[in-house]
Amino acid sequence: MTAAAHAAAEGRGMRACRPCLRTLQALLLWLALGLLLGDGARAQSIPLRRYAHDQGLLGVADTCLLQTGNGSLWVCSESGLYRFDGHRFEQVPLQGQRGHSISAASEDAEQRLWVTTFDAVYVDDGTQLRRLAPEETGALQSNKLRLANPRWGMVLLNGTQALRAVASADGRWRLQPLFDAATLARLPQLGKLGEAQSEADNLWLGCDHELCRVAADGSVTVYGQAQGLPPDRWRGVVRDRDGALWLRGDHHLMQLPAAAGRFVAQHPPGGAPLRQVVGQAQLLLDPQGRVLMRSGQSLLRWEHGRWRRFDRSNGLPDSGIAVLLFDHAGDLWMSVDGEGVVRWNGYGWIENWDVTQGMNAAPTWSILRNSQGALLLGNEAGMNRQRRADERFQPWLRDAGQQVLGLHNAADGSLWSLSALGELCHHDRQGRLLRSYPRLRVSIRRLFLDASGRIWILTTDGLYLLRPQSDDMPQRVQALPSSEYSDIQQRRDGSLWLAGAVGVFRLRDSTWTPIRLQLDGKPAQPWVSKLLIQEDGQVWAALYNPGVWQGRLDGDTLQLRPSVQPEQRELQIYLIRRTRNGWIWMGHNQGVDVYDGRRWSRLSQSQGLLWDDISESAFFEDHDGSVWIGTSKGTSHVLDPQRLFQAGAPRVTLSEFSRGGHPIAAGARLPWNQESLHIEAGSPDLYDDRNRVSLRYRFEGAQTRWIHTPNFEIEHPPLAPGEYTLELQLLDAYRHSASAPARVAFSVAPMWWRSQSMLALYVLLCGGLAIAALHWRERHLRQRERNLAELVALRTQELEHDKRELEIARAALAVKASHDSLTGLLNRAGILDALAAQMRHSVAEQQPLAVAMIDLDHFKRINDTYGHLIGDAVLTKVAKRLNTDLRESDLIGRYGGEELLGVLPGLPIPSHERLQRLRVAVCGHPLRVGSQSLAVTTSIGVAWYRPGETLQQLLARADQALYRAKHLGRNRVELQQP
């Protein structure tokens, strides 16, 4: 608590001028609280967070609660389906439409969301919640659709019939009867289903007035009177950690212990009703393994073999609770009829106590468990005691005064107490007053009892010491300045350390020593309001101004530097404590910061703390490691401090990324305009406390550094054309962690006058202008060039004409010189030149070369019989036939008279077939010459070139082969062996 708060507390104490009346009022309050209903349960005050219209939840008649595998929290209501982003609820449309009355929602094993309305079934297809067509569902009964999700498939209760959702190959669904006709005939109660609930691979069904279990293999087990189960409408099923099965009906609550064969009855306390007019008759297992159910406006929890009740006296809503849900963090969500949704913060690991639970007026100034095991609280109106954990707090030790700031146990079990007005009292174990010391006329800051039994009192006017065995009253320590002191501790070596407005002092033996302080390496003498020195020399401190300092003790010097945690620099620190496990606890005006040696975590109202404003010195570590923390509204009991560090990294959801109201999808290409980009984010894992979380984002392609903002709705200026990736990350200041970044890649097209088409047009225009300028500049030169060109062209045409005629004449002479004028074949000189060239080529390429000597048989007879003209015609036609049958590389020439010479490069040995085709080309069918049909045959002699021989030698061997062909009867091919 701040100094101003101390002053206010002191003022209130000074105005206490009627002690008798105050005593009477306190007594009446005690009696009134004792009349409150109780059933042996701890009367803690439940911290609730309410959600209704202000948080976007338009429907306050809620029908179901669901948290899906990705952490999203869903609320079904009569006005639509809502999803929670950690701060607000957003209505989710069903196939593009809002306002449906939702009856149920569930998630299947593939993490698909299923939703039922008054008369329809919807399923998430990856893009939207799509309504199943009538051919997929069949006939549905209105207002009687419920869902259950065993691991083997989604089940829909359609009235009293169970349907199983089966996926088709085309991506559609079929709702098929879960039980065939034979099963229904054998077990007719399966046709009278009431409720359905899943448990791993089991589907539990209220079937007629019995209970049916459907296993993954389709087998059905019926539980009824034979198993000790009375007839009832069975609606809720849960299995506890011991393996016992709990069952709830309209009139009975039953339990089947593990390995037992019969159910046993369990009776709610005080005849609590089981039948629920509104909402679901649920049975749940809480994160601590305890069975929880609702009963009217109350909650009942089974713990330590009996029921514990929570009702309006604990802070539950006045209206009836409809649906319950434990989220992944272990908090309990409750839909309240007509009021919306509430969340029980810190369920199971934080308990809170305030004036509604028997305590005096807050703040709580001191906390202690006495030698009898009772918990004591010093607060504004005096002292309270809780003798057992299942009892309410009661006023105690009225003679201790008001505004009890300090409580300490002595070694003998007696109790020392100190009020804000300086009333120091000593009580024995039973609370009987042993001695009351004269009031100190100063403002009190703290009471401390050291290991030797000395009483130290820190005040605004110095340090006072009482030696109970020898002193009649506390005496101010003269060795210290008369100033305000606010913190004190004793180390294992027995030294006493004192912090206050004039610095830090150490008492060793009987000597007080001032401690030198260095802040950021510079000597200083600041007001040290809180100090913790660990045994290893590490130091935590708070100065008068906000912020946390840490450093080390080096002899008589404290070296301090500001905390590296930026969010701690504005905190007003009220206490710094170390628990037995080595954790550091810092209470301040925004909750409690805890350091486990590696990580920081913050505890605040959003996690279940009663109030964020922590009282000075109101901190106590219990024997079981739990921690009690006093606040300006009461006391919080942290049952399981480990929960502060169990949460993983937070998640961030990109609720909206748009421009001009149009969503921006991944991979989108946006036309450029001057509209800003709109970003909305959510933190579904971190509820409500927006001081805890912040965002950082950047656009890769435009920025390299992150932009930090506390806002979850961001308007970013328009981006220039280019390729971008939005990166969005959530930062958790309480646990110093960050979410995995959400990414969306997109691009912005250039402005129209900078588009690719316009740039191409600019290039064309510039090129056109340059060409036009060149044309204009060279116009006259070109005209002169044209005139000269015409003259030159005319003269050139004349010369070209003469040249062409000369070339034609030369070509004709060349052809005439190398070709036979009659047959058009190469003449003797031409064919011999060609043969010589092929001989050289054969040697260079190492390829075969054949020479064929071709002679027309009895050609002289044709000349003699038909005349020389006919003979010439025969030679011409034979030449044409041979040219037709030749390869591209083959050559034929007229060697002399009726003899022809063929040059056949690349022809392998012996190539009979090819040479015979050459012969057949001549004599294959008669020659038609005028009116004559003449049968002409030919003899062919072939020789292959031998490297090194001369042309004449090659021709001589071919001629020898030709002679042999004629000698052997003509019209044949003979080869000269190589």
- In tens, the pLDDT along 720-772 reads 999 999 999 999 888 888 889 999 999 999 877 666 777 788 888 898 888 88
The domain that contains 679 carries what CATH number?
A: 2.60.40.10
Say whether both 409 and 462 belong to one domain. no
* Residue pLDDT, tens place only, 669-699: 999 888 999 999 888 777 766 777 889 999 9
| Alpha carbon distance 127, 662 (integer Å) | 16
Residues paired with 600 in a beta bridge: 595
Q: In this structure, is residue 594 part of a structural domain? A: no
Say whether both 831 and 932 belong to one domain. yes
Going by C-alpha positions, the residue among 115, 92, 91, 90 that lies closest to residue 103 is 115
Say whether both 777 and 686 belong to one domain. no
The values of phi and psi at residue 21, to 5°, are -60, -40
The domain that contains 506 carries what CATH number?
A: 2.130.10.10
CB burial of residue 538 (10 Å; 0-12, 13-18, 19+): middle
Confidence bin at 121 (pLDDT 50/70/90): very high
CB 57 within 8 A of CB 354: no
| Alpha carbon distance 235, 834 (integer Å) | 111
* Residue pLDDT, tens place only, 912-958: 888 888 888 888 788 888 777 888 888 889 999 998 899 898 889 98
3-state helix, strand, coil in the chain (%, to 5): 20, 40, 40
Q: In this structure, is residue 697 part of a structural domain? A: yes
Query: How many domains is the chain built from?
Result: 5
Q: In this structure, is residue 872 part of a structural domain? A: yes
| Alpha carbon distance 433, 366 (integer Å) | 19
Say whether both 827 and 969 belong to one domain. yes
Answer with the one of 765, 783, 813 that is the final residue of a domain: 813
Mean pLDDT of 86-115: 92
User: How many Cα atoms sit within 13 Å of 645 on the Cβ side?
Assistant: 11
Say whether both 528 and 663 belong to one domain. no
Strands of 264-265's sheet in order across? 234-239, 245-249, 253-256, 264-265
> Is the torsion defined by CA of 707, 711, 715, 721 positive or negative?
positive
Q: What is the pLDDT of residue 754?
A: 66
Say whether both 831 and 971 belong to one domain. yes
Tell me what percent of the residues of the chain surpass a pLDDT of 90: 54
Q: Of the ranges 250-264, 392-406, 501-515, 863-877, which one carries the lowest mean pLDDT score?
A: 863-877
Q: What is the pLDDT of residue 8?
A: 45
**Residue 953: left if φ>0, alpha if ψ -120 to 50, beta else—which one?**
alpha
Whether residue 12 is predicted with pLDDT greater than 60 in this model: the reply is no
Answer with the one of 795, 813, 831 that is the final residue of a domain: 813
Q: In this structure, is residue 398 part of a structural domain? A: yes
Say whether both 736 and 766 belong to one domain. no
Say whether both 701 and 773 belong to one domain. no
The domain of 666 spans 653-753
What does the mean pLDDT of the chain come to?
A: 87
| Alpha carbon distance 11, 21 (integer Å) | 18
Q: What is the pLDDT of residue 427?
A: 95
Q: In this structure, is residue 210 part of a structural domain? A: no
Confidence bin at 163 (pLDDT 50/70/90): very high
Q: In this structure, is residue 832 part of a structural domain? A: yes
Q: Of the ranges 135-139, 344-348, 608-612, 650-654, which one carries the lowest mean pLDDT score?
A: 650-654
Say whether both 725 and 798 belong to one domain. no
Mean pLDDT of 775-783: 80
Whether residue 305 is predicted with pLDDT greater than 80 in this model: the reply is yes
Answer with the one of 540, 570, 600 that is the final residue of a domain: 570
Q: In this structure, is residue 866 part of a structural domain? A: yes
The values of phi and psi at residue 270, to 5°, are 65, 25
Say whether both 853 and 889 belong to one domain. yes
The domain that contains 847 carries what CATH number?
A: 3.30.70.270
Say whether both 452 and 565 belong to one domain. yes
What's the count of helices (H) and strands (E) in the chain, helices before strands?
11, 74
Q: In this structure, is residue 482 part of a structural domain? A: yes
Q: What is the pLDDT of residue 778?
A: 79
Say whether both 850 and 955 belong to one domain. yes
Q: What is the pLDDT of residue 668?
A: 93
Q: What is the pLDDT of residue 24?
A: 37
CB 942 within 8 A of CB 975: yes
